[in-house]
Structure 1
Amino acid sequence: MDFWSRLIGGSRAVSKPSRATSPTERLTAFKRSCNALQQIWRATNTPSAEQSTTHARTYLDRLNAILSDESRGPAPHPCVAYAASSQIFVTVTKLALSYYDEVVLRSATVFFNTLIDAEVDGVVDNRLFARALVDLVRRADKASTEVEGRLVELLFGVANNIRLQPAILPAWFVPRTTASHESDSAASVGTEFAGATRKDEFPLFYLLVEYVHHEGRAGDFARTGLLYLIETASRSKHLEKWLIESDLATLMATGLGALYSQLGGLILTSVDDDVPRIIALSDHSKEETALHPTLSDAMDAFMSYLLFWQDTIDHCKSAEVNDTLLDHFQVLFLEQLLYPSLLESSDVAGGSTAAVMTYLYRILDSIDQGELVHRILDFLLASSPPVEDQMSMSASRRKSLDVLAALASEAAQPSPSLFNLRDLALLGLQSSNRQTVLATLRLLNVVLQRHHHFARALILTLPNQPVQQRSVGALNAELEYLFDLATSLVVEPNLDQTYENYVADATWVLESRLCLPVSLEEADDEVPLPRPLQQDDPIIQELLGHVQNFFTNSIVVNLSLTGVLMSLASSHLFSLDGWVLVDPARFEKSTESGLEKDTFEGVQAAYEPPTWPASAAPTLTRALGGLVSQVRQWQRDVPDFDVLVAARRELLQQEDRPAGPTSSSSREPSQAPASVGRDRSRPSYPGSPDISTPASRGRSPSSIQSRPMDPSRIRAESNIRPLDSRGTSSSRSAAMDSLRQRLAMPFPVHTSSKPSTRSAGATAVSAEGEQKEDVGEVEQEDEGISEDPRPVATLGHVLTNVVVLYEFLLELSAVVQTRGSLFEEAGYPSW
């Protein structure tokens, strides 16, 4: 006790230090505390003793308090300058590493952090300071996540200083000289890129890499600090060369692969009160397709690291470092892990296919960094990326490619040229496992919606077939047909407002497509965009096959299916001809003979609906017509079918309807429209053809909604109405139980083995001038209805799918109408 009393001048001085007020007093007190810490370190061989630990805490707190007071004042800061000249940070590091005391270690991190933030010469640009800080972070006992976060925050602070002042980099980064590098015979190409002998050259970098996988504050600071160092490479040729030759890219790619390898199967959450009503009312509400696939914590860690990859490519201003990272990403992750996992899981019956397809969907849905997306889809679709000129590369970059080529040849992985993502998507659509089908539809949708450059590599088009503009009358005739298909399913009093919401949403989506950048393929394309779909494309055929089974499909599958079809219909890369609308080349020419007479007669003729042969009916529209024909048969067979559909739609809309005044907006099948509930008039486009007025071009929503209901349906409705207004509570309860039992009863669903051949024109006129039947009565061929019943669904499930079909038809009609004006796909002939 006498020794410590003589050293620090008595216990009273330790417990109640005087507060320095002037800069001179602060500097004097700071020097005294520095001397005391040095004496504590030198005076005893047992620094872990409790008494010395207590005094070390006291003087470290004094140093921090003095530096905190000084930082609030104007420059100069003499205490920070003295800390640099006296190298007290070396002593602080030794004490923090010797005591194994968390309080001392925490105070040491505060001390270093204050010096880093002070931005005074002789601190962060001092090699002794760099060595002391690196030793502290590397060797400290990280007993708690808080201490770990504080230590990594110090590394982040240094990286931030290097980014702002690259001149301080030499204090932290000491690469080998060229002479010593060339004379080192043991540094073969393989060893050189292994990184094992290069950690001492840039220890700050490797410490950040060590924590880049961690969660919480430590991981956030490490990832951001590493991004700052990589960004600095564009301003330091030595650092750029070192990053290319180091194992940065190898560590990042193998780390991503390690996280991907830890992913397991999908975890399906149990059905609870949060399940959407449209799912809860379906037959598959307790099956796997209705459950939301929950991704494990391992998936969260993988996605976090993948987003770090994206940020790295974005922040790196060095093209060669970027290319090196992308090369390793392709060889070590895509070729050796991701693609083999897709290949091994490509079984039609399901297995792990749903999981890996979901992982790929999440990857493509989360990243938007162009170069990263191009590497993924170029490889998986077996596209041919542009070949780099190796003569323009640096020697370091060529060495990196040589090493990767050797790794690729040793691995001998299969190539996507034999089995690519298109093949996998086709197998997924053909799978008997609903979860696999659902994952495949989601994958198709994300490519079509977010990665447009690759849409045509996934969905085939006809490359050299020009797209013809249709007349206003042709477009209105086909719009009328689509409208009549929808209104055959549901009689909606507020159809005008519902449809206007869909038109507004379609306008927003299509206008956003016009702002997309043009790809190299489109810039060199001699055929005007968009291109017609290749009708015999197996993927298109599988999608149409799922449409024909619409009423027995899972609700979730139908929502995803309609989402894919709407993504195709709203894409500027794909024409509607042949699958949604009749190809204008198939129109009968008799109605166009007067188009060239004069302007007035030409305008009249442009509004006349053309005719076309039954064989020209679009494939999707034909399939939808078959579904509507089936619903009309149920309407004839089940007297209250219309009432049940209306009640089911009202029940589904209650979940989406906001509190307050009753909303009459509709529910979009693929996703909720952003414009629900807004009251707008039909938009008009200056200089565009009027494709929204009736005048022999299709019934307007106002005319459709006034259609009288069949008397038998009115009687059925009156029979149900007492549930709400008449009878005792017990009778109402019994009636509701009876209705629930009825909705849960099996309802035989028959689908046509062959699509209907009905022409797509709603009121198309035959060559002899006779008007064809109303759209509601879709013609069937003699062999159109199969004798074998399709899978049985409950009545409630069928009602829900009828509602989904109704909303999809309205959404499709809105896109067709909007495209006609916005993409100028309908107009008047040139005179």
Structure 2
Amino acid sequence: MDFWSRIIGGSRSLSTKSPRAASPTERLTAFKRTCNTLQQIWRSSNSPTGEQAAAVHARNCIERLNSVLSDESRGPAPHPCLAYAASSQIFVTVTKLALSSYDEGMLRSATIFFNTLIDSEVDGVVDNRLFARALVDLVRRADKQSEDIEGRLVELLFGVSNNIRLQPTILPAWFAPRSDDQNSELPGANGVEFAGTMRKDDFPLFYLLVEYVHHAGRAGDFARTGLLYLIETASRSKDLERWLIESDLATLMATGLGALYSQLGSLSYGPDGESEIPHIIAHSDHAQQETALPPVLGVSMDSFMAYLLFWQDTIDHCKSAEVVATLLDHFQVLFLEQLLYPSLLESSDVEGGSTAAVLTYLYRILASIDQEDLVHRILHFLLASPPDSDTQIAKKNKNMSASRRKSLDVLTAFSEEAARPSPSLFNLRDLALLGLRSSNPQTVLATLRLLSVVLQRHPSFARSLIRTITGHPAKQRNVGTLNAELGQLLSMASSIMNEPTLDKSFGNYLKDAAWTLESRLCISTSDKNPTEAVALEVRRDDPIVRELLDCLETFFTNSLIVNLALTEVLVSIASSQLIALDGWLLVDSTKYKYTTSDSSKDGLPDILQQIHAVYQEPIWSPEDTPALTAVLSRLVAQVQNWRNTITDFDILIAARRDLLHENDDPFKGSSEQDPIYSSTRGSVDRPPSTTPRTPQLNADQGTPRGRRDKQNFASPQRSIVGSPLREPTTIRSHPPRTSSVARSAAAEELKKRLATPFRRDSQSPLEPNEDAGNTLSSSLGPTTETSADTDNEAIIDEEQKTEQDSATLGHVLTNVVVLYEFLLEISAMVQARGTLFEEAGFHDVRISAQDSAE
């Protein structure tokens, strides 16, 4: 018994002995034995018998190799097993067994084995051409039905790309470009192919990564990052740089982007389960319309935007100026000229939905990317901006390499052969003008959103949309002049609503305006000529500004979401440092008239008289009233007429504003991609304050940073007015039944009243069906068939006109509140510009003081 016990115990102890306890020599011996076993399995794998058992045995052997290599890589040097794996080239055998077994477990173990070798940084592995061939064969020929296996295989390619980025000296093991003589023998090398030649044998690692850049999930992320690393390495390898320019890299990327863009379908406005109608839009007449929610663009748009952001990252990471230029050239010719611009040109259905779709796609593109060169190519081409000067073009051609010149010549020839239409005849500005004139609210809204994103995120193209007068920069105003303009704007706001906390509301808008303008100052508007950054006056006959003002004329009956987008565009124009406020928002500086100086000031020193003159407020003729201010004045006058007719109009306005600000959260129910769908701009906390006053411009006024306070907006002051839109908050123990019935009846009566039709040009709400009855009764005529058809068309036209010019009382009240907020917002923008852009101040006083000192 003792003998057998010692035998059994000894065998158990040997079988359970951990390989970690073995010495390096013993570990290497066991590793070599396992490698020999794998080679024997491969030699005998041709026999049909026992294939499954051989696969299981081979997988176990690879797992033992992985265990030994993993333990050794975590320990101190030397690493004999890793060195033996490199010298014995066992990775070739592992690749052959993994590809022949069709076993997912075997593939997973093989990817772990290769990944361990790549991370080990042992000589003779990543810099070995045989290792490169084995890995490429494994990734190219492996069965990738499993998403996990696909991700692991692409991760191997990423690991190699990372090693090449860190050590460009290993690039020759993976990249072997042909000589010029060999390239001349390739098909298509005589110029038949329009851009680049496919040379997969030169750089198979590169093409494998390109195959997966469109994929989502782990595989796509590894492929895109790995490709970025390879392109980044081009700046340190002239051979790779030349190959990237002459190969079909740019062609593949541009055509891939175009293919994804072609898959975009029409817009869908159905609820996606996450979107919620914003609080302010829910209290309008258009809460059930398609424009109440942002469009659902679907998975196709997500794939396109992911690939477009990969384009942006590629241009940012590439340090080679010629590779970047080649990519941008192909982006313009193969995507902009051949696909994006034709889609804009062919979307002539401004009354249907195709124009709204393509404008929404372009809006998403410009709202997502911020790479300066990419944005410049898009907008410079679509807006048909003037080309670079001949001197700059000649300088670029002089410094251009032969490969770059060849690629550009072939691409230019292809572009001319395609004979596509040019934006010089019909550009993005023309399409925007058609969109603003459309009767389709989806098209109008998409156009307004596109104008906003160009003006806000890419302000250097502001004058390509809004035409200005060359050589007419704005002049600096005195403080008194700016105060007079602000007084007019704020008086219009206070005439709409008597808010006790006007100072607090305006202060928050002022902070928001200062933040916006400071962000504009951080954006370079013109690198070529600093004088082009001077603000110029808007042309009086600019068609886009006129269309915006025409849309503003029907403000009270417009869709609420259109009004929010419209005011966003107007504020964006006012915030542009390239566009002056003179003539369209503020009075032209040459039209001001000052009264004669007071004789009591004659005895004062000259400097004091100058200061007094700076604060003197001018007057101007009604004919010189700016276009936007004139429209706003007419809207405010319309509100005053309603106030004089409707006895409780002030109570209705105050109650509606409280209702809109109640439980207002700017981040709830809004689209992250579209600020237009957020809640009312200017939603701020309004605690009690002093009596309203016109804010004055102080010389030492700071530039406050930060956005508006986002708190509860319920105003306690108005709760005591007895708002008919809000029930009392006091809880009584036993309310009388008659009081409850009376409140219910009053609430129902108010609900009917707010739903009453309200014509834009009327003085009071219409009775239900009153307008429709008048329309029908006035359309009675002869009973003949011909006259009946004519009268029916007239009835339909009259009904459509009536529908456009009328809305419910509640909808009109909501738009009145939006108009009040817009007046505060635009006033704050005017004052902030006067301070930050130095458009108002003490310029004349400083000059006079300097002259006196001299």
Q: TM-score range by the shorter chain?
A: 0.7 to 0.9
Q: What per-residue deviation string (whole Å, max 9, x for no partner) do you get for residues 678-704 of structure 1?
A: 99999998745899xxxxxxxxxxxxx
Q: Give 2:817's match in structure 1, choosing from 803, 808, 830.
A: 803
Letter in 2 for 1:251: L
Q: CA deviation at 1:96?
A: 0.4
Q: Which residue of 1 aligns with 2:401?
A: 394
Q: Which residue of 2 aligns with 1:827?
A: 841
Q: Which residue of 1 aligns with 2:361?
A: 359
Q: Which residue of 1 aligns with 2:142?
A: 140
Determine the C-alpha separation between the residues in 1 that align with 2:676 and 2:608.
40
Residue 572 of structure 2 is aligned to residue 567 of structure 1: yes
Q: CA deviation at 1:90?
A: 0.3
Give TM-score scaled by structure 1 length: 0.86
Determine the C-alpha separation between the residues in 1 that align with 2:676 and 2:502.
14
Q: Which residue of 2 aligns with 1:207?
A: 208
Q: CA deviation at 1:731?
A: 2.7
Q: Which residue of 1 aligns with 2:386?
A: 384
Determine the C-alpha separation between the residues in 2 that align with 1:301 and 1:657.
31
> 1:562·1:670 contact (CA, 8 Å) conserved in 2?
no
Structure 1 window deviating more from structure 2 (433-442 vs 385-394): it is 385-394
> 2:568·2:676 contact (CA, 8 Å) conserved in 1?
no
Letter in 1 for 2:445: L
Determine the C-alpha separation between the residues in 1 that align with 2:385 and 2:46.
68
Residue 597 of structure 2 is aligned to residue 587 of structure 1: no
Letter in 2 for 1:737: E
Q: Which residue of 2 aligns with 1:608?
A: 616
Determine the C-alpha separation between the residues in 1 that align with 2:123 and 2:521.
53
Within 5 Å, give how 1:419-498 maps onto structure 2.
Answer: 419-498=426-505
Letter in 2 for 1:141: D
Q: CA deviation at 1:472?
A: 1.6
Q: Measured at CA, do residues 675 and 160 of structure 1 come closer, stay the same or move farther in structure 2, by a change above 3 Å?
A: farther
Q: CA deviation at 1:180?
A: 3.1
Q: Measured at CA, do residues 473 and 237 of structure 1 come closer, stay the same or move farther in structure 2, by a change above 3 Å?
A: same
Q: Measured at CA, do residues 20 and 724 of structure 1 come closer, stay the same or move farther in structure 2, by a change above 3 Å?
A: closer
Q: Give 1:556's match in structure 2, choosing from 542, 555, 561.
A: 561
Q: CA deviation at 1:74?
A: 1.4
Q: Which residue of 1 aligns with 2:178?
A: 176
Structure 1 window deviating more from structure 2 (170-179 vs 415-424): it is 170-179
Q: CA deviation at 1:654?
A: 1.3
Q: CA deviation at 1:496?
A: 2.0
Q: CA deviation at 1:791?
A: 1.3
Corresponding residue pairs, total: 758
> 1:723·1:735 contact (CA, 8 Å) conserved in 2?
no
Please state whether the residue corresponding to 2:472 is helix, strand or coil: coil
Q: Measured at CA, do residues 535 and 655 of structure 1 come closer, stay the same or move farther in structure 2, by a change above 3 Å?
A: farther
Q: CA deviation at 1:213?
A: 0.5
Q: Measured at CA, do residues 79 and 258 of structure 1 come closer, stay the same or move farther in structure 2, by a change above 3 Å?
A: same
Q: Which residue of 2 aligns with 1:333?
A: 335
> 1:233·1:318 contact (CA, 8 Å) conserved in 2?
yes
> 2:652·2:724 contact (CA, 8 Å) conserved in 1?
no
Determine the C-alpha separation between the residues in 2 that align with 1:96 and 1:573.
64
Structure 1 window deviating more from structure 2 (170-179 vs 85-94): it is 170-179
Determine the C-alpha separation between the residues in 1 that align with 2:762 and 2:243.
66
Please state whether the residue corresponding to 1:415 is helix, strand or coil: coil
> 1:505·1:673 contact (CA, 8 Å) conserved in 2?
no
Residue 422 of structure 2 is aligned to residue 415 of structure 1: yes
Q: What per-residue deviation string (whole Å, max 9, x for no partner) do you get for residues 659-712 of structure 1?
A: 9xxxxxxx9998766994499999998745899xxxxxxxxxxxxxxxx99xxx
Q: CA deviation at 1:288?
A: 1.6
Q: CA deviation at 1:139?
A: 0.2
Letter in 1 for 2:572: S
Q: Give 1:655's match in structure 2, choosing from 649, 663, 669.
A: 663
Determine the C-alpha separation between the residues in 1 that align with 2:13 and 2:55.
17
Q: What per-residue deviation string (whole Å, max 9, x for no partner) do you get for residues 711-730 of structure 1?
A: xx99x958888766686333
Q: Measured at CA, do residues 260 and 13 of structure 1 come closer, stay the same or move farther in structure 2, by a change above 3 Å?
A: farther
Structure 1 window deviating more from structure 2 (121-130 vs 582-591): it is 582-591
Within 5 Å, give how 1:17-166 maps onto structure 2.
Answer: 18-21=18-21, 22-46=23-47, 49-166=51-168
Q: Which residue of 1 aligns with 2:779?
A: none
Q: CA deviation at 1:406?
A: 2.6
Q: Which residue of 2 aligns with 1:731?
A: 742
How many percent of aligned residue pairs carry the same amino acid?
63
Determine the C-alpha separation between the residues in 2 that align with 1:436 and 1:14.
79
Q: Which residue of 1 aligns with 2:351?
A: 349
Q: Measured at CA, do residues 191 and 509 of structure 1 come closer, stay the same or move farther in structure 2, by a change above 3 Å?
A: closer
Determine the C-alpha separation between the residues in 2 that align with 1:335 and 1:415.
8
> 1:472·1:689 contact (CA, 8 Å) conserved in 2?
no
Q: Which residue of 2 aligns with 1:695?
A: none
Q: CA deviation at 1:409?
A: 2.3
> 1:467·1:531 contact (CA, 8 Å) conserved in 2?
yes
Q: Measured at CA, do residues 549 and 615 of structure 1 come closer, stay the same or move farther in structure 2, by a change above 3 Å?
A: same
Q: What per-residue deviation string (whole Å, max 9, x for no partner) do you get for residues 785-823 of structure 1?
A: xx9996110111111111111111111111112222222
Structure 1 window deviating more from structure 2 (809-818 vs 91-100): it is 809-818
> 1:367·1:373 contact (CA, 8 Å) conserved in 2?
yes
Q: Measured at CA, do residues 403 and 46 of structure 1 come closer, stay the same or move farther in structure 2, by a change above 3 Å?
A: farther
Structure 1 window deviating more from structure 2 (620-629 vs 387-396): it is 387-396
> 1:428·1:437 contact (CA, 8 Å) conserved in 2?
yes
Q: Which residue of 2 aligns with 1:298?
A: 300
Q: What per-residue deviation string (whole Å, max 9, x for no partner) do you get for residues 450-475 of structure 1?
A: 11111111111111113222222221
> 1:230·1:316 contact (CA, 8 Å) conserved in 2?
yes
Q: Which residue of 2 aligns with 1:815?
A: 829
Q: What per-residue deviation string (whole Å, max 9, x for no partner) do you get for residues 272-314 of structure 1?
A: 8821111111111111221210111111000000000000101
Q: Measured at CA, do residues 675 and 61 of structure 1 come closer, stay the same or move farther in structure 2, by a change above 3 Å?
A: farther
Structure 1 window deviating more from structure 2 (558-567 vs 602-611): it is 602-611
Determine the C-alpha separation between the residues in 1 that align with 2:538 and 2:452.
16
Structure 1 window deviating more from structure 2 (368-377 vs 270-279): it is 270-279
Residue 647 of structure 2 is aligned to residue 639 of structure 1: yes
> 2:284·2:560 contact (CA, 8 Å) conserved in 1?
yes
Q: Give 1:743's match in structure 2, choosing from 742, 745, 754.
A: 754
Determine the C-alpha separation between the residues in 1 that align with 2:748 and 2:136.
73
Q: What per-residue deviation string (whole Å, max 9, x for no partner) do you get for residues 392-450 of structure 1?
A: 32221122112212321232110000001110110111111101111111111111111
Please state whether the residue corresponding to 1:201 is helix, strand or coil: coil
Q: CA deviation at 1:325?
A: 0.6
Structure 1 window deviating more from structure 2 (819-828 vs 534-543): it is 819-828
Q: Give 2:581's match in structure 1, choosing from 576, 581, 586.
A: 576
Determine the C-alpha separation between the residues in 2 that align with 1:718 and 1:117.
71
Q: Which residue of 2 aligns with 1:229?
A: 230
Q: What per-residue deviation string (whole Å, max 9, x for no partner) do you get for residues 509-568 of structure 1?
A: 22222233241355144xx82111112100000000111111111111111111111111
Determine the C-alpha separation between the residues in 1 that align with 2:700 and 2:590.
22
Q: Measured at CA, do residues 15 and 468 of structure 1 come closer, stay the same or move farther in structure 2, by a change above 3 Å?
A: same
Determine the C-alpha separation between the residues in 1 that align with 2:446 and 2:14.
68
Q: Measured at CA, do residues 495 and 578 of structure 1 come closer, stay the same or move farther in structure 2, by a change above 3 Å?
A: same
Determine the C-alpha separation between the residues in 2 that align with 1:361 and 1:668.
12
Determine the C-alpha separation between the residues in 1 that align with 2:660 and 2:724.
22
> 1:279·1:285 contact (CA, 8 Å) conserved in 2?
yes
Residue 259 of structure 2 is aligned to residue 245 of structure 1: no
